[in-house]
Amino acid sequence: MQKWIKALHFILRYQKIKHMNKLKAILLAEDNPNDVELTLAALNEQNLANRVVVVHVGVEVMEYLHCKGNFKNRAKGNPAVLLLDIKMPRMDGIEVLLAIRSDPRIKTIPVVMLTSSREEPDLKRCYELGANAYVVKPVDFKEFMDAIKHLGVFWALINELPKETE
């Protein structure tokens, strides 16, 4: 009986590890180090098992998604969600969103615009280009942490994604 219980614990532990390995990454595109730190802290506080990949410029988002540059050896597969800032160097978030929605291989990736911009033209343009959500970063620390926690849980755990096609 003891061997059977140990075997069952081993199987359950293996399935948990196997499930964790299947979890898709959360891709965070943010050039502000303070916002990166706060976002990572909020996601960590929520105990999400998803790995968070941080990039700092729009060009790196595209390199990650296409497995190029520093990401050429990463495991294939799209992230569970892209948390995308608008105002970034080299390629802004709106340009990244346009590029993603124009590419059939990655156009179904959920993109949440996570930005400090309250400008109506930015909001309208992002939705026209297919953003899944537009979240203005709260200035208040607790509100920021709560917003990120809710985003992480919804997009990484609750939201269902279609199967990827090669």
User: Please, what CATH class does the domain formed by 24-158 belong to?
Assistant: alpha beta
Between CA 104 and CA 35 the distance in angstroms is 30
8 Å CB contact between 28 and 52: yes
CB 141 within 8 A of CB 149: no
Going by the DSSP 8-state scheme, the letter that residue 69 receives in this structure is G
Domain layout of the chain by residue ranges: 24-158
Query: What tens digit of pLDDT does each residue of 107-156 get?
Result: 999 999 999 989 999 999 999 999 999 999 988 889 988 999 888 888 88
81, β-bridge pairs: 26
CB 79 within 8 A of CB 24: yes
pTM, full prediction = 0.83
